[in-house]
Structures are given as structure tokens and as C-alpha cells.
Amino acid sequence: MLVSAAEKEDADALYMLATWRVSGQIVPRDTVAARDLMERAAAAGHYEAPLLLAHFTANGTGGLPDWERALEMLAALKNRATVSEQLRLLAQMDIDASGYPRRLPALEVLSEAPSVRTTSDFLTEEECDYLVQKAEPRLTPSIVTDRATGKRMVHPDRRSDGTFFGVGTEDLAVNAINRRIAAISSTRPEQAEPLQVFRYGVGGEFRPHFDSVREGGNQRILTALVYLSDDYEGGETRFLRVGLDFRGARGDLLLFNNATEDGRPDPLAEHAGLPVRSGSKIVASRWIWREPPHFPPPTPVLSEL
């Protein structure tokens, strides 16, 4: 029935099929087909489709990223409250015609081995507010996937709530922040996993761990952390092997290497998020790989429509 309705250019059916093609949970993931379906849904008058299509165009879902075209598409929706808020924030950013920052702050070196660097005011107060506002309604207890069984379970080492900005929720404001992180880390946006936001309440922590993955193949080479709150006590990021503690102010960036130059996990990069004693610590995190990461899609319910 859904396919039949989509063939008749029913807006709701086209939109539903587009979201299915992105998620890959019901039918096999096909981002090119998803973008085509979203374009047809927008042309058929679906209210949300033009906004999602702008997101897809900016982040390159189902095609090459095109910032200027995505911004034009967003501007056409300027009378929507959520869009006007996004456009207002973008207008405050010092970015070029491709969405990248025109200037970057200097990085202060905190450690040479492992390489740990920081800069103040990487995000503005308004940008921090925006990320928190967009993330908070979707925060859920942090989970992890057991590689042996494929089951999802509460993270054994992290006590926090988290969410991420996937291809549908990575709007142009988030996309511009991702481009800023790429620029200051001398990487490309597609090298990183989606931007994630974590909230650590009282007692929340991330026990000692490495952000790198096993040796061989692709590797997480960098971690970028941006502090979105500062009304908390405790919660320092501690690099255990070098005796370095860091507690960022709101908007500060912490950028550190996870691997050695030859791609092996760096044993000096072991770190922990110490327990929060009071208040709420909120951070945005972006894990950056040597090459664009490719994760296996979920096994769909149907092999095909």
C-alpha cells in the first residue's frame, strides 16, 4: 500500500519511504534513493521534506554536499520558527560561502605526548545554547553495542545521557559547527562520526578508556570535545599516563590525538571523565578517523520492497 501510494506521488508515502531508506531498519539502506524520494515528497507538498532535503544537501546524504544550495533551500523556509532561529545563528557565524570559518583561533598546547590542545570560546554562548536545546529532548542513557552479540546495552564505563545529530537532525547550524571542528583539526567533515552530546549529572563519569580502536585498518585519530556547560563541580578530563587534568569553560575546545603517527593506539592517550560532584556537565564530542568511517548498516526487516 505504501509503495502504491508513493507511485501515485503521495507526499506522506514518499516521505516515509525516504526515512526508511536512510535508517535501513525496515528496507536496505540506500541514501541515493532516500534523497530522490525526499525530493519527490517536497515537490508533492510534504511539510517536513524541504527541511530534511536541505539537511541532506548540506551534509552530502545521497549525493555530493552543496552548502550554497542547502542555504538557499533553508532561506526559502525562513518563515518557519525553527528555521528562522537557525538562520539567525548562521548569520552570526564568520563563515565563507562554503560554510567554513574564515578565521580560526590559536590552539594552546597542553601536552606534546599525547598531543593535547585547547582553545577558548570555540563556540559562542548562543551556539552552546543551540546544541543543548536541540539535544536535550532526545537524551537517553548512554548505551553500547556488544560486538560479539550485536545487542545494545547500558554502557559499562560511562554514566551519562547522550544523543547524536544524524543525517536528518544535522541541520545547517550543526553542519557549520562540524565544518569548524574539521577546519581546526586539519581534517574533512566526512572523516568524523556524527556530533554527539553527552550530559553527566551528579555521579556521572566516563571511566578510564581509549577512544582509539584496534590496530589495523581505519583508526580514530582525534577526539574533539566542546564544553557546553560550566555550572558543575568535578568532571575534569584526566589523562592518566601524563598527569594532566583539564576542565573547560563553556565554549572551550579540547582536541587530542588517540593514535601514533603510524596509526597504532597511543597508550599515553588513556583518559577519563572524572565523576561530577554537583551540577550538570554537558559536552559535545566528535570522533575523527583517518579515513571516512563506514559502519555496517542494520539488518533490515525486508530484503527489498
What is the Cα–Cα distance from 178 to 104, expressed in whole angstroms? 13
Per the structure, the complete domain to which residue 36 belongs is given by 2-92
Residues 131 and 272 in one domain: yes
User: Whole-prediction pTM value?
Assistant: 0.94
Could you read off the pLDDT of 170-180 as tens digits, one per residue? 999 999 999 99
Number of helices and strands (H, E) in the chain?
A: 8, 17
Cβ atoms 248, 235 nearer than 8 A: no
What is the Cα–Cα distance from 236 to 239, expressed in whole angstroms? 10
Report the chain's mean pLDDT, rounded to a whole number: 95
Residues 74 and 125 in one domain: no
Q: For the domain that residue 236 is a member of, what is the CATH number?
A: 2.60.120.620
Classify burial at 244, counting beta carbons within 10 Å of its beta carbon; exposed 0-12, middle 13-18, buried 19 or more. Answer: middle
Could you read off the pLDDT of 193-250 as tens digits, one per residue? 999 999 999 999 999 999 999 877 899 999 999 999 999 999 999 999 999 999 999 9
pLDDT at 39 > cutoff 70:
yes
Cell numbers at residue 51, please? 527541511
How many structural domains does the chain have? 2
Residues 80 and 112 in one domain: no
Could you read off the pLDDT of 207-220 as tens digits, one per residue? 999 999 987 789 99
Which residues, in sequence order, are bridge partners of residue 256?
A: 116, 223
Which residues, in sequence order, are bridge partners of residue 276?
A: 234
Residues 6+ positions from 178 with CB-CB distance below 8 Å: 170, 189, 192, 195, 286
pLDDT at 40 > cutoff 80:
yes
Cell numbers at residue 243, please? 598527569
What is the Cα–Cα distance from 85 to 94, expressed in whole angstroms? 17
168 within some domain:
yes
Residues 77 and 133 in one domain: no
Q: For the domain that residue 34 is a member of, what is the CATH number?
A: 1.25.40.10
pLDDT at 145 > cutoff 80:
no
